[in-house]
Amino acid sequence: MRLLRAAGKNLTVLLFWLLVWELLALRAGSALLLPAPWSVAARTLELTGSAQFWQITALSLARILCGVAAGVALGTLTAALTARFAAARALLSPLLTMIKSTPVASFIILALIWMGRDTVPGFIAFLMVLPMVWTSVSAGIEQTDAQLLETARVFRFTRLKTCRLVYIPSCAPYFISACRAALGLGWKAGIAAEILTVPQSSIGRMLYESKLYLETTDLFAWTLVVILCSLVIEKVLMTAVGRIGRKHARGSAR
């Protein structure tokens, strides 16, 4: 009953905004300026009917998600290194802070000089995700309960056991929220990189071409695809890591 009510509420909100969009489109009076929601939906459906659409979407996803995954893996590893070794912290912290503060467009242009256009989006996603995951996981390691670490020491846990039973569960919430944010950021930065580097078979290229040929409906349709992909991958990630999250929530329920 509560679920139904929530779904009804969400649907009402969605319908309200669709109505606002429709009214604005009517006022604009041209699909070139602002296409109507139904025409965007129709175009999106039309796109999904072609094999090329799935190929483009899959390639963009693969390209960018590989970068995100590499960023998450290396960000976590770097956090462990900087927490453990002061020298690593002194060496890597300024570099990661610098990456975090640099505008993504600068990196995209630089990356275009350094590497092939097909590699740039993944690399950009990687660069965006790496410092974000590093910051979050480092905070998780720092916040690990000193009393629990002392307990592990008293019971002579090996390093591996301490890592498995203390550090990893303690950092899990930080890691999960970092992954969630990283996915969103990495995906969007990756698409932005695709728009600037226009690799073959990419959502970014389709967005770029839509803009180039003033096909605003296509621009909206591909943007909708980007949003839907973002929602789906977030949902998949949350389902995959949900167990850890629930376990932690239970552990700190009181």
Q: Which residue among 2, 154, 160, 239 contacts another protein (CB under 8 A)?
A: 154
Q: How far is the CB of 173 from another protein (least distance, A)?
A: 10
Distance CA(58)–CA(50), nearest Å, equals 13
Q: Per the structure block, which two tokens stand in for 226?
A: 């980007």
Q: How far is the CB of 132 from another protein (least distance, A)?
A: 24
Does residue 147 bind another protein (CB under 8 A)? yes
Does residue 169 bind another protein (CB under 8 A)? yes
Distance CA(14)–CA(22), nearest Å, equals 12
Tally Cβ neighbours within 10 Å of residue 30: 9
Rank residues 171 and 193 by Cβ distance to another protein and give the closer one: 171
Rank residues 2 and 156 by Cβ distance to another protein and give the closer one: 156
Distance CA(102)–CA(29), nearest Å, equals 40
Binding mask 4-43 for another protein (x = CB under 8 A): ----------------------------------------
Distance CA(67)–CA(122), nearest Å, equals 4
Does residue 146 bind another protein (CB under 8 A)? no
Amino acid at 199: P
Applying CB under 8 A, the residues found at the interface with another protein are: 147-148, 150-151, 153-157, 161, 165-166, 169, 172, 247-248, 250-254
